[in-house]
Amino acid sequence: MEDLFVFMCSFIIIFIVYLIIYIVKRKKKTLKEMKEFDILASRFQLSRKNMNENKLGLIIVLINSLIIASVGTICTMIDTSLAWQLLIGFALLMALIIICYSIIGFILKKKEGKRNEHKRN
């Protein structure tokens, strides 16, 4: 129960911070310059003009918050030395980033394929 409380508190704090950063970038109209968009566009050969920056930005805020909060919670649950916790945390962080962004990329690629097919017909 304590671990769930740690997860929820850390998730809410991280989500609020990311949301504030997102709102500031949206007001400055610099959402297109986010590195996450560059990574998704280059890795999955996506068209930047077909991406909905506002919706995708909120999804990225949510995914990043979940990743950071879950890795932090899992690392605090493990009863090992600090060095092992950091090593496990780093490996888990990289794995979750790759998995989550790959899922987002595949979904965007699928939607882009459907859009292109509708334009041809």
Instruction: Tell me the pLDDT tens digit for each residue of 24-37.
Output: 999 998 888 888 88
pLDDT at 118 over 80: no
Identify which of 106, 87, 27, 101 has the alpha carbon closest to the alpha carbon of residue 59.
Answer: 101
* Contact assessment for residue 75 and residue 89, using Cβ atoms and an 8 Å cutoff: yes
pLDDT of residue 10: 95
The model's pLDDT over 71-112, given as tens digits with 9 standing for 90+, comes to 999 999 999 999 999 999 999 999 999 999 999 999 998 888
What pLDDT band is residue 44 in, cutting at 50, 70 and 90? confident
Q: Which residue has the higher pLDDT, 110 or 65?
A: 65
pLDDT of residue 77: 92
Residue 69 Cα distances to 26, 61, 75, 93, 121, angstroms = 24, 12, 10, 10, 44
Q: Hey, is 47 helix, strand or coil?
A: coil
Residue 88 Cα distances to 33, 50, 76, angstroms = 31, 37, 11
- For residues 37 and 46, give the distance between their C-alpha atoms in angstroms, rounded to a whole number: 9
